[in-house]
Amino acid sequence: MKDLAIKKLYHSTSEVSEMTSVKPYILRYWESEFPQLRPSKNKAGKRIYRQNDIRLIRLIKKLLYEEKFTIEGAINQINESKKSKQQPNSPLKQEKLKSVVVDLKKSLQGILDLLEDKSI
């Protein structure tokens, strides 16, 4: 019988540290520097991280270690990315989406034409 892995909703600091290869003391430091990183705490006062927290930690790690941002620069980058996700579609995005829909419509019409030819 196959083992079905149950996806955990919360992870401990040590689990997150292992998953992200970021030492626990660095995770705690990042909490003090990045206002976006605020893991919850359980009844015992231990930090518990959700998937969104882990994604944010991976993003912070990438910005700091790979892209060489300063902490302030990484904070700004995260804030900018949040703003762009919250804003309604810009005209450029709408035009791109329209183009994709038109291409998709043409492709589907081509498939329909092929199916009609084969059914005759």
CB 57 within 8 A of CB 37: yes
pLDDT of residue 16: 95
Closest CA to 61 of 34, 91, 99, 98: 34
pLDDT of residue 5: 57
Which residues on adjacent β-strands are paired with residue 49?
11
pLDDT of residue 57: 96
pLDDT of residue 30: 96
CATH match for 1-87 among 1.10.10.10, 1.10.1660.10, 3.40.605.10, 3.40.50.970: 1.10.1660.10
Q: Where are the alpha helices (DSSP H) in 6-90?
A: 13-20, 24-33, 51-61, 71-86
Domain residue extents for the chain: 1-87, 88-120
pLDDT along the chain (120 residues), means of 10: 66 94 96 94 93 94 94 92 67 77 90 80
The DSSP call for residue 9 is: S
